[in-house]
Amino acid sequence: MDVLKAWLTLWGLLLRRPVISILLGMVYLTTVLLIVVAAPGKRGALVALMSAFVAGGLSAVLSERIRRHCLAAGSLGIPGHSQLMHRTQGLFLILFVAAPGVVACALGLSPLTTAVTLLLGPAVGIALSVYGLWWIMLVPALGRFDTHTEWVSLPITQAAGAAASLWFIWRWFELPGRSERIGQEGPVRLGDSRHERAIRHSGPVQRSNIAVDLFDPHAHDAVLPTIDPNIEAERTLPAAFATGLGYSVRTNWRFTAYGTAAGMTALIGWHVLRGGQAEITSYVMICMVCGVSLVARLQSILQRWMRTSTEQAILRIAPLWPDPAQVKRAMLGSTLLVQRGALAAWAAITLCGWALDLVSNTCVFRAALALAGTSLAFSGSLWATLARRQVREWHTATVAIGITVGSGALIAAFGAPLLSLHVALGLALMLAAPAAALAWYLLAPARIPISVDPRALSSRPTSI
């Protein structure tokens, strides 16, 4: 009976979601196809690797859902909830780590390699979900070892990796209890009906890119006089919305300059340490940081629009609230304005690296494609989300835009041997989906206040 309950919980939290089911099916189908064409000696490694990716992704999603449910369960005082979550976590590990491990071993992979591969996946997923994305900045350190890959195959390294992953997974079992305790202590506002589900009051400590403003409550007092008194002036609308809905479209140029300087230092320092012209590891990492920064700013806009439906309702009935077309244009302007800093920093670092002959033309071209793809994919996803009647957690449109733009970027960057017009085709693919999303957003009725599915609102971050 406990196993059945755990299965039903796992199903409800994770597998019931169409996006997850579809992606899971696609990954498993790809794995089977690869196994068929792979050499017999590689099949075990293939199973372990693909299963590790699956376990990593699913564990990240599952951690987020467990945390959210346990916060609510803690506030409601539901008995035995954390025990059920522990059983669910155990079942997850059996299904997505132990079972593929047995298959990989049966296909000839050594038990130690199997263990480290399959444990590393969920450990990384848990770390991503629980500790956030900042620790990914440590990855460049691994670049020191990228030419000495033999260390990865050392038994001692693998044993250490497996042990560290196991420790992470062990700590993961503390997540339900800890989240429930936080739920008990924190102020939780409960709605009075099913369609107004329990939503954690995000308050002044929620994730936002305007953390500085939150800790300096008078910052917006200083901003307000700079807003044109005639709020209907379209030129100032992005800034006016940002002030009213709690985000910022301003670019912190000083911070951008510091970041650019740090990036240039890293690029040059890396070159001095490692030598050679085609030192792409550090440059790739710098581009990734720019991409993450750009995505964070775009996501902050979406998050704030999702979390401020009450404020939008108040403003929507004000006599000087602009007409829907102006609101849409202002939103469009906001999505472009918030990307300025990251793009400027990337351009400056790239120019420096290119001028000093630290990065090749091909490398710059591919990095530009990657960054443009990131910008287009996430902007398109934002527009598609806002065009919908109800903002939900996942949309097929978001996945489709990501896949199309990603495919376009890959074709443009690497399609040379196969296609003669690969750049044109790739760029067309990159632009098509975001352009469609933009057209959808501009044509769809303006949804203000935004109707948000409560499941799409994430809880306050916690740590284990």
Q: Which residues of this chain interact with other proteins, rule CB under 8 A?
A: 189, 192-196, 201, 203-204, 208, 210, 213-214, 217-218, 220-221, 224, 227, 229, 231, 240, 243-244, 246, 310-311, 313-321, 389, 449, 451
Q: Please identify, using beta-carbon distances, which residue of 323 and 357 lies nearer to other proteins.
A: 323
Q: Residue 65 or 304: which CB sits closer to other proteins?
A: 304
Residue placing its CB nearer to other proteins in the complex, 63 or 208:
208
Minimum distance of other proteins from residue 252's CB (angstroms): 17
Q: Which is nearer to other proteins, 108 or 203 (CB)?
A: 203
- Which residues are 391's β-sheet partners? 452
How near is the Cβ of 449 to other proteins at its closest, in Å?
A: 6
Nearer to other proteins, 239 or 464 (CB): 239
Nearest to 350 by CA among 365, 337, 370: 365
Residue 192: CB minimum distance to other proteins, A: 4
> How many residues are given for the chain?
464
Give the shortest CB-305-to-other proteins separation in angstroms: 14
Name residue, tokens 């918030």. Answer: 338
Q: Provide the minimum distance between the beta carbon of 22 and other proteins in the complex, in angstroms, as a whole number.
A: 22
Q: Between residues 69 and 304, which has the closer beta carbon with respect to other proteins?
A: 304
Q: Which is nearer to other proteins, 144 or 189 (CB)?
A: 189
For other proteins, give the closer residue by CB, 168 or 247: 247
Least Å distance, CB 190 to other proteins, is: 10
- Taking the least distance from each CB to other proteins, the nearer of 158 and 209 is 209
Give me the least distance between CB of 231 and other proteins, in Å please. Answer: 5
| Least distance from other proteins to the Cβ atom of residue 157, Å | 47
Q: Whole-number minimum distance, CB 224 to other proteins, in Å?
A: 5
